[in-house]
């Protein structure tokens, strides 16, 4: 399926576009005039698309990207956060709005974030919630929180600490300068960097390659990696072993063995 022939998916708002192409469920932030700052409608639209893609057998990978020359400028202070859930306090409301980052991490589908430009504040949290990241050479990670005397949200401090380690994360969060794409790749914030003009095609090709792979195995691998961040080896090993057995019983595994044998003329 070409990008032109993609199946459009209704997100409920023009501020977020959804489509499925070649097994990839695309979530595209679509406020380029505001550098894709998070609008109240986006806080429901992004989770809606994640839920739809999680339940869609056609989707084997989720691609989170953005229109224009920025990934996400964080929360839009002009637009606010919209309606607060009934009875919720400020912290509970913010946790609710940020549920998209938890949903991406807990999704069984592998997710890729494609950054055409800066990720700022909550935009960092959204980018780092994806399993993998590819960035245009002009992309940057910008600490928008400290400039406004904020402590950080949307899982940004949590993800930065996991990836960078506590000292580097703290340095960035209390006022470190922007991290450019090349430095982000060295630090592990992104997996790949490509020239700006190549980002859309490279990101979609990567996501399509993942979608074409063994989806059950990918979901189990994602669980293994998640356990490795929370459990010691003695606790993780039985879970890892159980998943290995499950993957070995799958039709994906049997088909892969048949292909392997055919390639060797057996």
> Do 22 and 153 sit in the same domain of this protein?
yes
> Do 95 and 64 sit in the same domain of this protein?
yes
In this structure, how many other beta carbons lie within 10 angstroms of the beta carbon of residue 137? 15
Structure tokens at 50: 């994640």
> Do 142 and 14 sit in the same domain of this protein?
yes
d(CA 45, CA 29): 10
Mean pLDDT in order along the chain per 10 residues (266 residues)? 76 98 98 96 97 98 98 82 70 94 98 98 97 98 93 96 97 93 98 98 98 96 96 97 96 94 84
Matching residue, tokens 């090349």: 182
For CA atoms 226, 132, 50, 32, give the dihedral sign.
Answer: positive
Maximum distance among all Cα pairs of the chain, rounded to whole angstroms: 66
Q: Which domain holds residue 186?
A: 3-211
Cα→Cα distances 132→34, 39, 113, Å: 25, 24, 6
- CATH code, 158: 3.90.226.10
Give me the pLDDT at residue 253, please.
Answer: 95
> Do 9 and 115 sit in the same domain of this protein?
yes
In sequence order, the β-bridge partners of residue 135 are 115, 193
> Do 101 and 11 sit in the same domain of this protein?
yes
> Do 165 and 200 sit in the same domain of this protein?
yes
> Do 83 and 109 sit in the same domain of this protein?
yes
d(CA 54, CA 43): 17
pTM: 0.93
d(CA 45, CA 177): 31
Give me the pLDDT at residue 265, please.
Answer: 81
> Do 48 and 129 sit in the same domain of this protein?
yes
Give me the pLDDT at residue 31, please.
Answer: 97
Last residue of a domain, one of 172, 191, 211: 211
> Do 32 and 88 sit in the same domain of this protein?
yes
Element (H, E) at 259: helix 251-263
d(CA 143, CA 172): 7
Cα→Cα distances 255→58, 109, 156, 252, Å: 19, 20, 40, 5
Give me the pLDDT at residue 78, please.
Answer: 73
Give me the pLDDT at residue 1, please.
Answer: 39
Per the CB < 8 A criterion, the answer to whether 156 and 144 are in contact is: no
Per the CB < 8 A criterion, the answer to whether 220 and 248 are in contact is: no
> Do 25 and 69 sit in the same domain of this protein?
yes
> Do 36 and 111 sit in the same domain of this protein?
yes
> Do 244 and 187 sit in the same domain of this protein?
no
The total of structural domains in the chain comes to 2
Give me the pLDDT at residue 257, please.
Answer: 94
User: Residue 25: phi, psi to the nearest 5?
Assistant: -90, 115
Structure tokens at 258: 């048949």
User: Residue 43: phi, psi to the nearest 5?
Assistant: -65, -25
């Amino acid at each position: 399926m070409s990008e032109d022939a993609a199946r459009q998916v209704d997100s409920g708002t023009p501020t977020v576009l959804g489509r499925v192409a070649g097994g990839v469920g695309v979530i595209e932030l679509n406020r380029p005039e505001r550098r894709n700052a998070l609008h109240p409608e986006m806080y429901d639209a992004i989770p809606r698309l994640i839920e739809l893609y999680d339940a869609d057998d056609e989707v084997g990978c989720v691609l989170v990207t953005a229109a224009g020359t920025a990934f996400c400028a964080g929360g839009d202070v002009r637009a606010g956060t919209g309606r607060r859930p009934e009875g919720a306090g400020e912290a509970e409301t913010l946790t609710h709005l940020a549920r998209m980052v938890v949903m991406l991490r807990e999704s069984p589908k592998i997710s890729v974030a494609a950054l055409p430009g800066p990720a700022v504040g909550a935009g960092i949290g959204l980018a780092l919630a994806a399993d993998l990241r590819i960035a245009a050479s002009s992309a940057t990670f910008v600490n928008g929180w400290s400039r406004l005397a904020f402590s950080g949200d949307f899982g940004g401090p949590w993800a930065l600490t996991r990836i960078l380690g506590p000292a580097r994360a703290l340095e960035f969060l209390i006022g470190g300068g922007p991290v450019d794409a090349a430095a982000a790749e060295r630090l592990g914030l992104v997996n790949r960097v490509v020239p700006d003009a190549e980002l859309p095609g490279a990101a979609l090709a990567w996501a399509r390659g993942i979608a074409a792979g063994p989806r059950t195995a990918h979901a189990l691998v994602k669980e293994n990696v998640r356990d490795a961040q929370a459990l010691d080896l003695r606790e993780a090993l039985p879970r890892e072993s159980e998943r290995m057995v499950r993957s070995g019983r799958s039709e994906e595994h049997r088909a892969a063995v048949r292909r392997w044998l055919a390639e060797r003329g057996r």
